[in-house]
Amino acid sequence: MNARTENPVALVTGAARRVGATIARTLHAAGHDVALHCRQSRAELDRLITELEAMRAGSTLALQADLTDSAQLPQLIEQTIARFGRLDALVNNAAAFHSTPFGSITAEQCDRLFAINARAPLLLSQAAAGSLRVSRGVIVNIVDIYAQHPLPDHGAYCMSKAALAMATLALAQELAPDVRVNGVAPGDVLWPERPVGDETMASLTARTALKRQGSPADIAGAVLWLLRDAPFVTGQILRVDGGRGLAI
């Protein structure tokens, strides 16, 4: 066990790449020590760890786990506490995203989407609650604008993110007044690795009030604000979508 760090400590799931990696870099630059989780992207995570360690030695911890295996979830919290001696923030960023056209939806698809997108954040929050109460910490869940508005052929995904939105509200109630719990609902900030039907970047931009795509930095900035600069905000889901929700 290392000596207790004086820096705030954040655990970020799905942190090896894309939005998760940007959240990790942003929190680290703001002075957090970071425990960074991945499932399969270990090479990317190791490169990120090397990058951050070059900036501040002893400030990171690499964690690898399958979030569908509930037995592994408490271990992520335990390893973080063992390494840093404290936990101040949990950012539930990891997500599964794929289409489930109605008429061909399987139980296995539903189970995986709900396990990663809803069950894992809930159980991780439960495992972290004791430490977060001590630090008067914060949980931020990365939700989705489609938790409120269905995306065609993605019903099971939208349902899982709607469950995460409700978990955000329930946890804010359960953990008050010691722990604040909020969500960030991204809009179009990064082109999907699996493009959605005939969606194009132009069509998404046309339906966004600010007429441009956002960036992972927009999401990371919102997460940092909720962690550091919003002490009287809990039970809220902040849409970071450039006004996309106005046109859905």
Specify if 143 maps to a domain: yes
Q: Tell me, what DSSP letter sits at residue 225?
A: H
67: in domain: yes
In a domain, 212, yes or no: yes
Mean pLDDT of 17-43: 98
Domain that holds residue 201: 9-246
Residue 3 lies in a domain: no
- CATH number for the domain including 80? 3.40.50.720
User: 5 pLDDT band (50/70/90 cuts)?
Assistant: confident
Give residue 190's pLDDT band: very low, low, confident or very high (50, 70, 90): confident
Contacts of 232 (CB under 8 A, 6+ apart): none
Cβ neighbours of 203 (radius 10 Å): 9
Cβ-Cβ contacts under 8 Å for 89 (sequence gap 6 or more): 8, 9, 10, 11, 27, 32, 132, 137, 138, 139, 140, 227
Q: Is the pLDDT of residue 96 over 80?
A: yes
- Mean pLDDT calculated for residue range 103-121: 98
Vertex 120, ends 218 and 106: CA angle to 5°? Answer: 100
Strands 9-12 and 33-38: parallel
Query: Would you say residue 141 lies in a domain?
Result: yes
Residue 165 placed within a domain: yes
Please report whether residue 135 resides in a domain. yes
Is 146 catalytic? The answer is: no
Please state the domain count of the chain: 1
Residue-level pLDDT at 152: 93
pLDDT at 196 over 70: no
Residue 20: pLDDT over 60: yes
pTM of the predicted protein model: 0.94
How high is the pLDDT of residue 204? 79
Average pLDDT of the residues in 222-238: 98
Q: Predicted confidence band at 102 (pLDDT cuts at 50, 70, 90)?
A: very high
Is 4 among the domain residues? Answer: no
* Percentage of residues of the chain with pLDDT beyond 70: 94
Report the pLDDT value the prediction gives residue 245, as an integer from 0 to 100.
81
* Angle of helix 42-55 versus helix 18-29 axis, rounded to 10: 20
- Candidate list 125, 146, 157, 208, residue with the active-site label: 157
